Amino acid sequence: MQTMGYPQSVSFVGFFAILIISVNTQDEFPYTIIEEIPHDSTAFTQGLAIHENQILRSKGLYGSSGLSKLNITTGLSLLDTSIESSYFGEGITVFDNRVIMLTWRARVGLVYNLDLQRQGQFNFSTTRNEGWGITHNGTHLIVSDGSEYLHFWDPYTLEEVGRIRVMYNGFFAERNLNELEYISKDNVVLANVWYRDYIAVIDISTGVVLRRDNFAFLKSRFTHTLGSSAVLNGIAYDPSSELYYITGKLWSKIFVARKNNCGQPTCNRRGKRYED
């Protein structure tokens, strides 16, 4: 197994450069919220993916974990499957027409076909021997486990072939990495960070956190107060439309976003602020 290490020494100039690119203000927020999709507020969302113009969602908690296909417009469930009550469901990704789902502490992954029929299961290990988030870059599965490491797995043998440590501002480990989504056009992974309102944008060739994008303002778009467990968790990207889908645990909405061109987090489809 190869360990992809972060450079041990960082020059002052290099550190300063990393510091500058890692900080973004609300005025520089890079996404525009263009739509809200209704979502089941009882779903303890653990993973989100887009495939063939449908949303795939996994949910957790013992006795309530499962996998669903959702209508991408209405958010209504099209197909559901539950998993054994002994498993706590975690993240999902779609690779080679297989849906791969992690479980939390059982060290077991589950494999489904696109009709959500179980095809098999496998054992895995990680830094913490837990499963949290999973995505892929076309070559490797990329897995988080709540530590500051991203683990790279062979997508067919499902064995680890390498890992990289994720660092913020050069010296600070970005721990509690959770749900993941790979963006091929930027060669980055977007990562939820447990109990944080930001999404970390990670260069997967170096492990450097390029930005922390603050999504705290999404909480103001609910008419009710979110509970302490209702944290930001769930990122999916549709390369055909270049839209991002963002939600959380026990959230009643999935937010649809695109890269911002109006300089504010609340724009309409014409790129103007809602207030204009």
**CB burial readout 6-29, b (16+ within 10 A) else e:** beeebeeeeeeebeeebebeeeeb
* Rounded Cα distance, 243 and 82, in Å: 28
Q: What are phi and psi of 64, to 5 degrees?
A: -130, 5
Q: Find tokens 């609910």 and name the residue.
A: 222
Q: Rounded to an integer, what distance in angstroms lies between the CA atom of residue 143 and that of residue 24?
A: 26
Q: Which residue did the predictor score with more confidence, 7 or 133?
A: 133
Single-letter code of the amino acid located at 274: Y
Phi and psi dihedrals of 22, rounded to 5?
-90, -10
197 contacts: CB under 8 Å, gap ≥ 6: 214, 215, 216, 219, 232
What average pLDDT score do residues 97-123 get? 98
pLDDT tens-digit series, residues 181-238: 999 999 999 999 999 999 999 999 999 999 999 999 999 999 888 899 999 999 999 9
pLDDT at res. 28: 53
Instruction: Report whether 214 contacts 264 (CB < 8 A).
Output: no
Q: Shortest CA distance to 44 belongs to which of 100, 93, 104?
A: 104
- pLDDT computed for residue 159 by the predictor: 97
pTM of the shown model: 0.86
pLDDT in tens, 86-102: 999 999 999 999 999 99
CB of 189 closer than 8 Å to CB of 142: yes
Tell me how far apart the terminal alpha carbons of the chain are, to the nearest angstrom: 54
Q: Is the pLDDT of residue 259 over 60?
A: yes
Task: State the pLDDT confidence band at 172, using cuts at 50, 70 and 90.
Answer: very high
pLDDT number for residue 24: 42
- 242 within 8 A of 229, measured Cβ to Cβ: no
pLDDT at res. 276 = 34
pLDDT band at 262 (very low <50, low <70, confident <90, very high): low
Q: What is the pLDDT of residue 169?
A: 94
Give the separation between CA 222 and CA 264, rounded to whole angstroms.
Answer: 19
User: Chain-wide mean pLDDT for the chain?
Assistant: 88
Q: Where does residue 102 rank: exposed (0-12), middle (13-18), buried (19+ CB within 10 A)?
A: buried
Answer whether 45's CB lies under 8 Å from 247's CB: yes
The residues pairing with 37 across neighbouring beta strands, listed in sequence order, are 254
138-165 pLDDT tens trace: 999 999 999 999 999 999 999 999 999 9
pLDDT digits 0-9 by tens, 3-52: 554 333 333 334 344 444 444 433 356 789 999 999 999 999 999 999 99
Percentages (nearest 5) of helix, strand, coil residues in the chain: 5, 45, 45
- Beginning with the edge strand found earlier in the chain, give each strand of the sheet holding 77-82 in spatial order: 45-51, 54-59, 66-71, 77-82
Using DSSP bridges, classify how beta strands 134-136 and 141-144 pair: parallel, antiparallel or unpaired.
antiparallel
Nearest 5°: phi and psi at 216?
A: -60, -30
